[in-house]
Chain A
């Protein structure tokens, strides 16, 4: 029966090609706009580390100014001081913990024709690799010893290894940074996080780093730090050491806690730590520490761009206009068919039969519109990529899930649009229509 309805639907679509094309075009435009914007919102709000997002926690301590909160209403600062970052690491109260910050240095590759370039680096502890599990191509993270002593060790990204060592296994080789010889201990395989959740302080969708180096080097060889530094109070004293001990915040801190109990324990540990620091005259504000898991932190940091959300809502309304349009056109079409419908009723088709027949026809139009919509969405995403350039890199790609969502959205919306016209068409009394034939 279904195949028969499908054939009837096809015939009916072919009978009014202009009207049918118009309907499909309307659905396609609506779906195209909706899918383009949905894609960007979907990719922006994607879980970057689905397996562990509930075990990884971002640590916030309220070390801010007694007179005003870091941001209203009473939000703790989004980063830690150097002092707290190192002391929390030393305490080691979680299964894994790593402090981190952005850094940069000029790399001077050896070999002919290779120019020095600016490398974005991340200062961090080796637990970083245990927590975020980047894939290693060669080698492994640096040792605990390297963390403590601040060895000149580096883990390179695949891209950097390709540029500097032509993709060869470079473990054990050295690379010159800041005029110092760093030993390559590991090379990562391709690793792209969207969003780069572990540090969103300078934008959630920035590129991954060129390399990772032990956190201790911030102190021992005064590696510069980039990213945001905020101070509510000037450093006490002059020089680098005083700056590191100041109340300026510039460091992120992540911990891995595998159970709710561990999370509670860690929270009590943080509170005890702050109480103890209060004894030393720090932390003038009331106790206000936070542990946020990955998705909570993404929510708190409003990773999904406002513009993208506004565009999505406008596009969904656009889809509504297209559907109203389709309702109108379907009405036109089915009423024009009322003679045929009456005839079928007269020769014995029940209302349910007719209802199904027309639903199949509507769904067929929906599928056509959906396919057209996906093509338009693809074009729309290409257009958006051109418009935004690097600002949206990697966030304008259709994947299989999205294609599925697109088709489903098209069929559901066309069925919604078709419900009323179909119902009306099936209520046509056979006698009155047949009379005028």
Chain B
């Protein structure tokens, strides 16, 4: 390492190539750091627990089209049918499917009157089988009783007396209490219609995967009296793929003036909802890999060029007693100097780009741990790229020094 002085001074005499490599490394690092940051932040989004037993669940959506369609009769008999399909653990009718990106929400208040604290919450209209069919866990309190369940008519404001809320919603409404302590409290909605919290759910996602309050959800003990119906079905572990076609076939066989619109697994629902995120991740990976290759090739090209120009100097050094190792270490050190300058600029660039992305697109802030990792990775790429040309330089014969003069 005692060569750094002369190497540095030699670099200053031929700045352009070094500046080009440094700049290339800096921009590459800026892109890579922000791309990796985007990839991991999407990973964080996608790995959130929805609270459901996703891999053992599927849904069926039906719509009644007959003029004499009797929603209550059909819903109850369809539920009976589904719950009796072999392999089905439980089934419910639900107004909106978690992660489906369509549903309804309400403003919930922690006290009556205008000035009460409030929070928005996704509303799921379900019956007393919901805890079992969704596979959710209750932190405290009791499930709905069969007698709690009423019918919700379209465009009517009847609001039931009891609800279950998620722990996160409980904390938002009662910041001073443990979530469990929300059980037994009264909440209000609309024109101060009261409802009692009968249970607190450990975790359940709202239907909108992009919503900031995705953990704000509540279950309301009502079945929907409408032409549309979603059924969420939970099967015993491992039997979903066998049970789903059977259940759908049995539903389709009934002639009650409704048709099955669609059905699919909850896993599929999830991957459809997060499709744009997975797509973005794949694209960013392609960008990262090609960038690394391009930068490496650029370094190879430029270093080969400088080595060719310095053939005679290298030969002279060899003739004056420098070993092959000395030559290799010269070029490696030179490369480290250049790349290091590049990654230092790259650090500043990465942070600047991230700040701009945060302010323009509301993206999450950069985790600074990526900076040293990216610096090391790029230094390694630089060394790998320069190693081949340096090895060739080391093989330049000392006799070269004597030719062509």
Contacts and interface: CB of A to CB of B under 8 A. Distances in A.
B305 interface: yes
Nearest to B23: A324
B305 A235 contact: no
A346 interface: no
B367 interface: no
Contacts of A67: 114
A183 interface: no
A240 B156 CA distance: 8
Contact of A336 (B28, B104, B280, B305): B305
B113 to A, nearest CB: 12
A106 B228 CA distance: 11
A259 interface: no
B190 A234 contact: yes
Interface in B270-292: 275-276, 278-280, 282-284, 286-287, 290-291
Given A106-B65, A388-B276, A325 B298 contact: yes
Contacts of A389: 275
A310 B363 CA distance: 10
Contact of A321 (B157, B291, B301): B291
Given A33-B287, A238-B156, A335-B305, A179 B295 contact: no
A139 interface: no
B10 interface: no
B9 to A, nearest CB: 21
Measured as residues with beta carbon below 8 angstroms from the partner, the interface class of chain A is: 35 or more
Contacts of B114: 67
B24 A116 contact: no
Interface residues of B, number: 55
Interface stretch (B14-22, B92-100, B195-203, B324-332): B14-22
Contact of B294 (A321, A424, A436): A321
Contact of A239 (B31, B156, B227): B156
Given A106-B65, A118-B63, A324-B23, A331 B155 contact: no
Contact of A317 (B31, B261, B404): B31
A391 interface: yes
A71 to B, nearest CB: 13
B31 A238 contact: no
Interface string A125-166: 000000000000000000000000000000000000000000
A431 interface: no
Q: Which of A19, A67, A307 has the most CB of B within 10 A?
A: A307
Given A22-B301, A315-B287, A332-B302, A391 B34 contact: no
Interface of B: 16-17, 20-21, 23-24, 27-28, 30-31, 34-35, 38, 63, 65-67, 104, 114, 154-157, 190-191, 227, 259, 261, 275-276, 278-280, 282-284, 286-287, 290-291, 294-295, 297-298, 301-302, 304-305, 308-309, 357, 361-363, 404
Given A311-B283, A335-B305, 7 more contacts: A26-B294, A116-B65, A306-B362, A309-B361, A314-B34, A324-B27, A332-B304
18 contacts: A22-B297, A105-B65, A106-B63, A234-B191, A239-B156, A307-B276, A314-B287, A318-B287, A320-B27, A321-B24, A324-B20, A325-B298, A328-B301, A383-B286, A384-B279, A387-B278, A388-B279, A391-B275
